[in-house]
Amino acid sequence: MILYHGSNVIVNKPLFGYGKPYNDYGQGFYCTENIALAKEWACYDPNGGFVNIYNLDTANLNTLKLNEKKILEWLAILIKNRQIRYSSPIEKQIAEYVIANFYSDYSSYDIITGYRADDSYFSFVRAFLSNTISLEQLGEAMKLGNLGMQVFIQSQKAFDNLSFVDSETVSGDYYAKREERNAKARKDYYRLLEKDVTSGTFARDILKGGFNIDGTSI
């Protein structure tokens, strides 16, 4: 599997046990199979960056495909890992309830694939926790702007199977593309808010209990 990692530096030797612990799926190495997205992720500002290219030997690696799981399971993993400054007691209660009832341990997996929830997209999660959007709207929102999937390298075994191939300089032009993608997602998100959601499942409903992991009533 060919993977790409966007950064402001060349990373020719990703190290197990490094990285921020409060990212989407915890501490590890985040990549994508989409080089265009990696180039955008490399550009935190107009100065540009680098896209690092790797080959991952997936033989004998255990992969968790979160995009094939139910959204509440994905949500529980995300909010358990992210640092959240709650705006109200009810928002905190909802987050704790989702973790307690829908979180499943994934530490035995070598690789995890799933949606990427950067700061712009994480605001959609906050909107769900505050009862602004429904669970159904959240599922739609995470696909806005062609966010793309990320590949999370988690275990020592997976790191050992990851080999550096090359790096490419990324033009600062990709910063504008990144901003354009985020702007489109936000625009589509506001259109999503205008939809009739009277039959949707909101966080306050889930807090009352009686829901499956896919958000349907038991």
Residues 102-113: tens digit of each pLDDT: 998 999 999 999
Distance CA 216, CA 28 (A): 32
Query: Which is nearest to 22 in space by CA: 80, 63, 68?
Result: 80
User: What does the pLDDT average to over 122-144?
Assistant: 81
pLDDT at 169 over 80: yes
Q: Give the per-residue pLDDT at 197.
A: 64
Sheet holding 63-65: strands in order across? 29-31, 149-153, 111-115, 63-65
Distance CA 175, CA 200 (A): 36
User: What does the pLDDT average to over 159-175?
Assistant: 94
Q: Give the per-residue pLDDT at 218.
A: 46
Query: Dihedral of CA 186/191/194/199: which sign?
Result: negative
pLDDT at 211 over 50: yes
Question: Each residue of 21-68: pLDDT tens digit?
Answer: 788 888 999 999 999 889 988 998 899 999 999 999 999 999 998 877
Task: For the chain, give the percent of residues with pLDDT over 70.
Answer: 89
25: CB partners within 8 A, 6+ apart: 66, 77, 78, 81, 106, 112, 114, 152, 154
Burial (CB count within 10 angstroms: exposed 0-12, middle 13-18, buried 19+), residue 134: buried
Question: Each residue of 1-21: pLDDT tens digit?
Answer: 999 999 999 999 999 988 787
Q: Give the per-residue pLDDT at 189.
A: 75
Q: Give the per-residue pLDDT at 216.
A: 57
Check residues 140 and 119 and name the one with the higher pLDDT: 140
172: CB partners within 8 A, 6+ apart: 43, 45, 46, 47, 48
